[in-house]
Structure 1
């Protein structure tokens, strides 16, 4: 039994370039992000999605609600899809982080680095591995899972064996769909960063 997992990054929000929102509350999408969510919903409505799972943060939930409505399926929170815990960096402006040596290390050595008081990429991958195992045991044939760029990159790393040191070599755009197939002891990447239009 295999499960097709459509990993969707939340739509764009107005703070995307200004600060490391991380797990901050109150980060909402505007018209552009909502349009991306609607496009993702239309794209996934033809895939036989049985349930939409979402990180509990507002921006992912806004995206997931539109996908669930388009697919006519239930919506459930899933803690494993939560944004990485950036610890002391959560909510900081990017400009204020540029001078910190650990920030540079985090971005160049993400396979081993950790945000201060935060979560490593290896820990993100561990929670995703446990979640994917639960998902395949559930018997679901197709699910949509709405999450965040770094979490989706961690999942792609699991599927491809790519070190998180090379996380910057591929893009996970707002509103994009990345497709994995899990089951039979395997995890395969079927599509990366598909950006729905229309």
Structure 2
């Protein structure tokens, strides 16, 4: 049976684009909280069977308004956690730019390992296994992280993890997968819950 999975990137926070937050307990900022509320409204009428979240604070804070709006409980899932970035965690991107291990990690996402952490393939495998374990015939919302979403989509499309950076995944966005027996497709990519104001 087919299952529809809405992958939600958590909302904005003050380290986005500046610091590799990883598994640190960074909360949503005001914009991120607004995105979380908008996501609840975006899913209104969707009638999902379940709502799942990474254990990270920013993901749980994103899931909370969705849960309230849709009258669902939030199931925390370690499989949806951010990549374990090991010693990269908490460092600014400016500082990481000259790090040879960081350069290799981004150049060879299919094989490189974060020092003291995971490979991209390990992170994608745990998330993929979790998604495929969800009941067939249902719609589920899974709040997770940018690289987990991009990795899952790259894996599904067969483009290889080294090329996952061709995929956009903005804070507060929705990417939708449809999974079935022997069949999977990308139904939507990086759809914003908050519509931009007209120019």
State the TM-score, normalizing by the size of structure 1. Answer: 0.94
Secondary structure of residue in 1 paired with 2:105: helix
Quote the offset at 1:22 in angstroms. 0.1
1:184 aligns with 2:177: no
Q: Secondary structure at the match of 2:127?
A: helix
Q: 3-state SS of the aligned residue for 2:109?
A: coil
- Could you say if the C-alpha distance between residues 103 and 114 of structure 1 is closer, same or farther in structure 2, counting changes exceeding 3 Å? same
Q: What CA RMSD, in Å, does the superposition of the two structures yield over aligned residues? A: 1.3
CA displacement, residues 17-41 of structure 1 (integer Å, 9 cap, x when unaligned): 221100012x001110011111111
Structure 2 matches for 1:1-198, cutoff 5 A? 1-25=1-25, 27-135=26-134, 138-139=135-136, 141-197=138-194
The separation in 1 between residues aligned to 2:107 and 2:70, in whole angstroms, is 39
Cα distance, 1:157 vs. partner? 1.5
- 8 Å CA contact retained: 1:158, 1:187: no
Provide structure 1 residue ranges, at least 5 long, that are not aligned to the other structure: none
| Structure 2: distance between partners of 1:187 and 1:117 | 33
Give 1:186 shift: 2.0
Distance 2:45 2:13 in 1: 26
> Once structures 1 and 2 are overlaid, which stretch shifts more, 111-120 or 54-63?
111-120
**Residue 171 of structure 1: SS of its match in structure 2?**
coil
User: Which consecutive aligned stretches of 4+ in structure 1 deviate over 6 angstroms post-superposition?
Assistant: none
Segments of structure 2 that go 5 or more residues without pairing to the other structure are none
Q: Per-residue deviation at 1:140?
A: 5.3
Alpha-carbon distance, 1:197 to partner: 2.3
- What SS does structure 2 have at the residue aligned with 1:179? strand
> Which moved further from structure 2: 78-87 or 63-72?
63-72
What secondary structure, in the 3-state scheme, does the structure 2 residue paired with 1:65 have?
Answer: helix
